[in-house]
C-alpha cells in the first residue's frame, strides 16, 4: 500500500516537473513564433516591393499657367492677401476707391512654366505588346493641361510620354511611350477584394521616388464622395500623400487592385483615409481609351435618388431596397422602355440594386445598344422591363451626376445640363445651378437663392456638382468662400462665412 502511494507521488512529481518546464518555456516558444510570423509578413511586403517597383513611374508634368503682372503697388504690401487690385475689383468693381475714374491699372496676363508631379504604372495589354509600345495608367488630374510629360523608372530610364486618352469623369488617363519591353503589372479582380485585407501603395509622395506604404482595405464601394463624376472607391488606411496620385494599390500577390487617387484631409496631408479607383473600373476605362481615345458610356435618361426611410414608407418598399426614379427624360431609352417617375429599380442585370452611385457606374459601363433587363416595383407590384441601353450624349456626360449637398452652408447644387437649365429657366453653359437652399442656412442668409447659377468658387471656374463640393471642402479650413453667381443677366460676387 505504501509502495503504491510512493509510486503515485513520484508520478505526480514527474508530471508537475514536466508541467512547470512546459509552462516556463511556452512564452519563449510563443514569442519566437510571433516574431517568425512578423518576419514572414515583412518578407512578403519586401517581395511585393521588388516585384512591383520596376513597373512604377515618377511622372513629371510641365505646363503653362497665367499670372497677373499688375503694377499696382498696394499700401498693404506684396505679402498681404489684400495686396492685389483684383481682390478689390471682386468686391467693389472697376471703380473701387483708390483708383480715379479712367486711371485703373492694367493687369496684363503673362505665362510662366509650372512643374507638377505624380505617379503611374505600366500595365499589361495586348495592344501594348504587339505594337512595340507600352501604356502607363495614371490619374487624369496628374496630366491634365500638360504640355510635356516625362516618366522616370526606378532604374533611371526616362521617356517622354504622350497622352493616349483621358477620362475626367472617372479621373483615369493612359499615357503611351515608345517601348514595348518594359515590366508591366497585371490586374486583379477588385470585386474579390475583402475589407481587412492587406494592400500596398507605391508611388512618389512629395517627389520621394518609389515610396512604399502598407495598410488594409477599410471599406469598398465608396460613392458620393464628391471627387469624381463616377465613383466606386476602395478606402484604405495605407498612407497616400501628394505625389502618390496615379500609383498602384496592389495586393500581396503584387497584382493591381486599384489606382491611388485621393485622400480625405483637413490639413492637406495624410489623415488615415485614402481612396483608390478599383481595378475593374480602371481597366475597362483604360482599354476604351487605348482603343478609341475616349470613353463611351451607357445611358438610360433618368434621374435617380436614394430611398430614404420616409420615401420607403411613401412608396411601400423596404428601406435599403432599390432606388427611385425621380425623372424620366423625353425621347430617352427609359421613356421608350416605359419607365415612369416613381418606379423603384430593384434589380439590374440580375443583381440587386441598393445604391445610386453603384447603379450609375454599372449602367455607364454597359456598351450602348445592349439589351438589358430591369426589375422594378410599380405601385408595390414587381415588373420586368427590357431596355436598350443608349449612348450618353456628350453634353450630358456630367449631367447624370446626382445633386451634391453641402450641409455646412445649407446648399444643394446640380450640374448644369441643357435639360436642367430648361427646368430651372436658366441659360445653359458653364456653372452649377442651385436646386435647394435650406431656410435660415448660411447660404440663405448670404443671399443664395434657388435657380441661381454658381460660376466660380474662390475664383476657380466650376462646371460640375462634384467640382463644387470639392472646392467647398477646400474652404472648410478657413470657413469662408467667395462665389461668383449669375441670376438672370446679372452676375455678382457673394461671400459666405460659416
Which residue, chain included where needed, has cell 477620362?
Answer: 167
pLDDT digits (tens, 9 = 90+) for 193-244: 999 999 999 998 888 888 899 999 999 888 767 677 777 899 999 988 888 8
Residue 395's nearest CA partner among 423, 361, 367, 429 is 429
When the pLDDT of each residue in the chain is averaged and rounded to a whole number, the result is 79
Q: Are 248 and 260 in contact (CB under 8 A)?
A: yes
Give the cell for residue 451: 435657380
DSSP 88-119: HHHHH-TT-TTS-TT-PPP--EEEEEEEEEEE
Chain mean position to CA 68: 31
pLDDT digits (tens, 9 = 90+) for 377-396: 998 899 999 999 998 876 44
pLDDT digits (tens, 9 = 90+) for 444-490: 888 898 889 998 998 888 888 878 888 888 888 888 898 988 888 77
Angle, CA of 138, 265 and 283, to the nearest 5°: 25
Predicted local confidence at residue 224, as pLDDT: 66
- Range among 91-95, 208-212, 369-373 rated most confident: 369-373
Predicted local confidence at residue 243, as pLDDT: 85
Instruction: Point out the catalytic residue in the list 85, 167, 171, 396.
Output: 171
Average of per-residue pLDDT across 126-145: 78
- Place 43 in a pLDDT band, splitting at 50, 70 and 90: confident
141 is catalytic: yes
Average of per-residue pLDDT across 148-172: 91
pLDDT for residue 115 is more than 90? no
Ranges of H-type helices in 293-332: 309-314
189 is catalytic: no
3-class secondary structure, 19: helix
Q: What is the pTM of this model?
A: 0.64
Distance between CA atoms of residues 147 and 268, nearest Å: 26
- Place 304 in a pLDDT band, splitting at 50, 70 and 90: confident
Q: Do domains 120-139+163-295 and 298-393 have the same CATH topology?
A: no
pLDDT digits (tens, 9 = 90+) for 243-272: 889 999 999 999 999 999 887 766 666 677
The topology under which CATH files domain 120-139+163-295 is: Thrombin, subunit H (2.40.10)
Instruction: Point out the catalytic residue in the list 53, 134, 141, 405.
Output: 141
Instruction: Point out the catalytic residue in the list 245, 274, 441, 464.
Output: 245
Distance between CA atoms of residues 248 and 256, nearest Å: 6
pLDDT for residue 102 is more than 60? no
Q: Which residues have a Cβ under 8 Å from the Cβ of 414 and sit 6 or more positions away?
A: 401, 402, 403, 404, 420, 432, 433, 435, 465
Angle, CA of 16, 20 and 26, to the nearest 5°: 140
Superfamily of structural domain 403-497: PDZ domain (2.30.42.10)
pLDDT digits (tens, 9 = 90+) for 15-40: 666 666 656 555 655 556 666 777 77
- Give strand pairing partners of 219: 235
Please give the CATH number for the structural domain made up of 298-393: 2.30.42.10
Ranges of H-type helices in 171-298: 279-292
171 is catalytic: yes
SS3 string, 386-420, reads EEECEECCHHHCCCCCCCEEECCCCEEEEECCHHH
Predicted local confidence at residue 407, as pLDDT: 75
Report domain extents, the chain.
120-139+163-295, 298-393, 403-497
pLDDT digits (tens, 9 = 90+) for 326-358: 888 888 999 999 999 889 999 999 899 988 888
Helix (H) or strand (E) holding 17: helix 2-52
Amino acid at each position: 500500500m505504501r509502495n503504491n502511494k510512493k509510486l503515485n507521488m513520484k508520478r505526480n512529481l514527474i508530471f508537475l516537473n514536466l508541467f512547470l518546464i512546459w509552462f516556463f518555456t511556452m512564452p519563449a516558444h510563443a514569442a519566437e513564433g510571433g516574431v517568425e510570423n512578423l518576419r514572414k509578413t515583412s518578407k512578403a511586403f519586401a517581395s511585393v516591393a521588388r516585384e512591383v517597383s520596376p513597373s512604377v513611374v515618377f511622372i513629371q508634368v510641365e505646363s503653362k499657367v497665367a499670372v497677373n503682372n499688375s503694377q499696382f503697388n498696394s499700401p498693404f504690401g506684396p505679402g498681404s492677401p489684400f495686396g492685389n487690385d483684383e481682390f478689390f475689383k471682386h468686391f467693389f468693381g472697376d471703380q473701387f476707391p483708390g483708383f480715379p475714374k479712367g486711371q485703373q491699372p492694367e493687369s496684363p496676363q503673362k505665362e510662366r512654366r509650372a512643374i507638377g508631379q505624380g505617379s503611374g504604372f505600366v500595365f499589361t495589354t495586348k495592344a501594348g505588346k504587339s505594337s512595340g509600345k507600352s501604356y502607363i495608367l495614371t490619374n487624369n488630374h496628374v496630366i491634365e493641361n500638360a504640355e510635356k510629360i516625362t516618366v522616370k523608372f526606378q532604374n533611371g530610364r526616362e521617356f517622354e510620354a504622350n497622352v493616349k486618352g483621358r477620362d475626367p469623369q472617372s479621373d483615369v488617363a493612359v499615357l503611351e511611350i515608345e517601348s514595348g519591353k518594359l515590366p508591366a503589372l497585371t490586374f486583379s479582380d477588385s470585386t474579390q477584394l475583402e475589407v481587412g485585407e492587406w494592400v500596398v501603395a507605391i508611388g512618389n509622395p512629395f517627389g520621394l521616388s518609389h515610396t512604399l506604404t502598407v495598410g488594409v482595405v477599410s471599406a469598398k464601394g465608396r460613392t458620393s464622395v464628391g471627387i469624381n463624376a463616377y465613383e466606386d472607391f476602395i478606402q484604405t488606411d495605407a498612407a497616400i500623400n501628394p505625389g502618390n496620385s496615379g500609383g498602384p494599390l496592389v495586393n500581396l500577390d503584387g497584382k493591381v487592385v486599384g489606382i491611388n487617387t485621393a485622400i480625405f484631409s483637413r490639413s492637406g496631408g495624410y489623415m488615415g483615409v485614402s481612396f483608390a479607383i478599383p481595378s475593374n473600373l480602371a481597366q475597362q476605362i483604360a482599354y476604351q481609351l487605348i482603343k478609341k481615345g475616349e470613353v463611351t458610356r451607357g445611358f438610360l435618361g433618368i434621374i435617380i435618388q436614394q430611398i430614404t426611410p420616409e420615401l420607403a414608407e411613401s412608396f411601400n418598399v423596404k428601406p435599403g431596397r432599390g432606388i427611385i426614379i425621380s425623372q424620366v427624360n423625353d425621347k430617352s431609352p427609359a421613356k421608350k422602355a416605359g419607365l415612369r417617375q416613381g418606379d423603384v429599380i430593384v434589380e439590374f442585370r440580375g443583381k440587386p440594386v441598393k445604391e445610386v452611385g453603384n447603379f450609375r457606374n454599372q449602367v455607364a459601363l454597359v456598351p450602348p445598344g445592349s439589351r438589358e433587363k430591369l426589375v422594378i416595383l410599380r405601385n408595390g407590384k414587381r415588373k420586368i422591363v427590357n431596355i436598350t441601353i443608349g449612348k450618353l450624349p456628350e453634353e450630358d456626360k456630367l449631367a447624370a451626376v446626382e445633386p451634391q449637398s453641402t450641409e455646412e452652408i445649407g446648399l444643394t447644387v446640380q450640374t448644369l445640363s441643357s435639360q436642367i437649365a430648361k427646368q430651372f429657366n436658366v441659360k445653359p453653359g458653364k456653372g452649377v445651378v442651385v436646386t435647394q437652399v435650406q431656410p435660415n442656412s448660411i447660404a440663405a442668409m448670404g443671399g443664395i437663392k434657388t435657380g441661381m447659377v454658381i460660376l466660380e468658387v474662390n475664383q476657380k471656374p466650376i462646371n460640375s456638382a462634384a467640382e463644387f463640393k470639392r472646392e467647398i471642402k477646400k474652404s472648410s479650413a478657413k470657413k469662408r468662400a467667395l462665389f461668383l453667381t449669375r441670376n438672370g443677366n446679372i452676375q455678382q460676387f457673394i461671400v459666405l462665412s460659416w
